[in-house]
Structure 1
Amino acid sequence: MTSNRVEKTPVTLLGLGAMGTALARTWLSAGHPLIVWNRDPARSAALGAQGARVAGSAAEAVAAGTLVVVCLLDDIAVERVLDGTGLDGKDLVNLTTTTPAQSRARAVWARERGARYLDGGIMAVPPMIGVREAGGYVFYSGSQGLFDQHRATLGVPAGTTYVGTDAGFAALHDVALLSAMYGMFAGAAHAFALIRKEDIDPASLAPLLTDWLVAMAPSVHETAGRLRSGDYTGGVVSRLAMQVAGTPTFLDTAEQQGVSPQLLSPYFELMRRRLAEGGGEEDLTGVIELLAL
């Protein structure tokens, strides 16, 4: 008789915070042998009760398997935890939030120690991990060979999106998307502040705000097209000059409602600068040029 059982790739996981614990539980549920280590042994013990093998040290955990996933607080923690561990021949996947420069330096650091390196940027919060319909995924960059070999295993907790061999690209994509998210949050915060003192239920504004943001979101494709072509004026519907002329209304309304304009003013100032440089016939794409240091 032959067994139809598919052997699952063992995973070593260092770091059991909220995200690390969510990753661990998902791999365990999918049947992957899991070795865990955490500075606080209480978190490790909880997963040990669920079937994970608990290592007594980070070095022991790394030595126990080939695929090593790190999910720690920051890059300093990564170096501290991995210092003294044997990385030769290991496949190191770093899911710690870092800057692109830190990711690139960490890739060099790992290669010097004989490891293949893959950096990851998680586009999800812990409750989304292991829930396919939630839409969470992870950007990966670095060793394509590592990614291709372990793609199925890495895809168990969340979707996978490989963005290139440059180890810094995952972190860069991560921060780019999150930066846009915070910009959206800032606009929403200003919108809610405007109605805060009025007899307007925030719950009635919320769906209107959501629908409007969804309707405006496709404009990012037009912006990308203009950046690629370098043409900021062709087919423009809302000229920069017209939009700048309308900004006093936003500022006056904020003042009348007793709301600080601090979330809008920096962007309006960039719009005025671009207009002063002769960009009146453009849309808002030219503002991006002013952000380069």
Structure 2
Amino acid sequence: MQNLDTGLAPVAVLGLGLMGRALAEAFLRAGHPTTVWNRTAAKAEPLVAQGAKLAGSPADAAAAAPLVIVCVADHDAVRELLDSLGDVLDGRVLVNLTSGTSLTARETAERVERKGGAYLDGAILAAPQGIGADAAILYSGPRSAFDPHEPTLRVLGAGTTYLGDDHALSSLYDVAVLGLMWGILNGFLQGAALLGAAGVKATAFTPVATTGIATVADWVAGYAQQIDDGTYPAPDATIGTHLTAMEHLVHESESLGVSTEFPRLVKALAERAVADGRGGDGYAAMIEQFRTPAAGARA
């Protein structure tokens, strides 16, 4: 199924929202024959002007290429698409770049495999503007499905990463990174609110915040090793010491009339760790609070 003019494998892109259009444009720029489909056909017009072929149905689009990329609103839309494809996926690889969960990844894999296709679940850790450049995109599923199409998939981003055979891995990594993002952003917003109460602009706080984030980022590799080893030395500060500082953050927020909800949540986790006998351990021992469902229920 090679294109005689370019020698590059054809691809099909189903779903032309902001991200779907960016995916299709990246393939077109790289010279891949690209067939597209979208529920609202008018969204395909700029891509057709760039050389894409517009298919009349999802099945027609999928039939045009050995590699089928799906990027739609949610997994209900993914299921609807799959139901419309019939047996056209037989012998093809479907890559789903729609955000979801590990459960939906496994369910979708089963649906695709029942239709005779191979399934790769994917997660895009980038904005549409990063597609075709430095975008980080994670893939999980059978290695036999990823390897033949790796050169084509690398067109979408320099950060293309294969995680393993388990279809669920890309979704798990995705939500883990989202949690990391919100933790960092919420911490920044709490700090900006505190300083704002003292008349300091958020832009003035930004250089100091950026330095602080970089410092914490440098700790991650060491913490990760401690977590894998199951030992939590405290060469710098114990959880008990951190707890004292957390109390300062709560009191400072109270005194300035700033919300204490976020710092109180952080403090409550540390208090439980101390109650569990972890007060003298390094901060990485907090992983035990996140591993325990009962801890989340108590929160």
Per-residue deviation at 1:215? 1.1
Per-residue deviation at 1:286? 2.3
Identify the residue that residue 139 of structure 1 maps to in structure 2.
138
Consecutive unaligned residues of structure 1, counting only runs of 5 or more, are none
CA distance in 1, matches of 2:234, 2:244: 20
Identify the residue that residue 72 of structure 1 maps to in structure 2.
72
Please give the residue correspondences for 1:101-120 in structure 2 after superposition, counting only pairs within 5 Å: 101-120=103-122
> Does the alignment pair 1:87 with 2:89?
yes
Please give the residue correspondences for 1:254-269 in structure 2 after superposition, counting only pairs within 5 Å: 254-269=253-268
Per-residue deviation at 1:65? 1.7
Please give the residue correspondences for 1:1-293 in structure 2 after superposition, counting only pairs within 5 Å: 7-85=7-85, 86-131=88-133, 135-159=134-158, 160-232=160-232, 234-291=233-290, 292-293=292-293
CA distance in 2, matches of 1:43, 1:181: 31
AA aligned to 1:257 is: L
CA distance in 2, matches of 1:100, 1:204: 40
Q: 1:59·1:82 contact (CA, 8 Å) conserved in 2? A: no
AA aligned to 2:18 is: A
CA distance in 1, matches of 2:29, 2:246: 53
Q: 1:66·1:91 contact (CA, 8 Å) conserved in 2? A: yes
Q: Which has the higher helix share?
A: 2
Q: 2:140·2:170 contact (CA, 8 Å) conserved in 1? A: yes
Q: Give percent identity, aligned residues only.
A: 37
Q: 1:66·1:90 contact (CA, 8 Å) conserved in 2? A: yes
AA aligned to 1:280 is: G
Consecutive unaligned residues of structure 2, counting only runs of 5 or more, are 294-299
Q: List structure 1 segments (4+ residues) > 6 angstroms apart after TM superposition.
A: none
AA aligned to 2:26 is: T
TM-score by length of 1: 0.94
Deviation digits for residues 135-159 of structure 1 (CA, Å, limit 9, x no counterpart): 3210000021121101111011213
CA distance in 1, matches of 2:19, 2:90: 27
CA distance in 1, matches of 2:197, 2:262: 18
TM-score by length of 2: 0.92
CA distance in 2, matches of 1:175, 1:110: 23
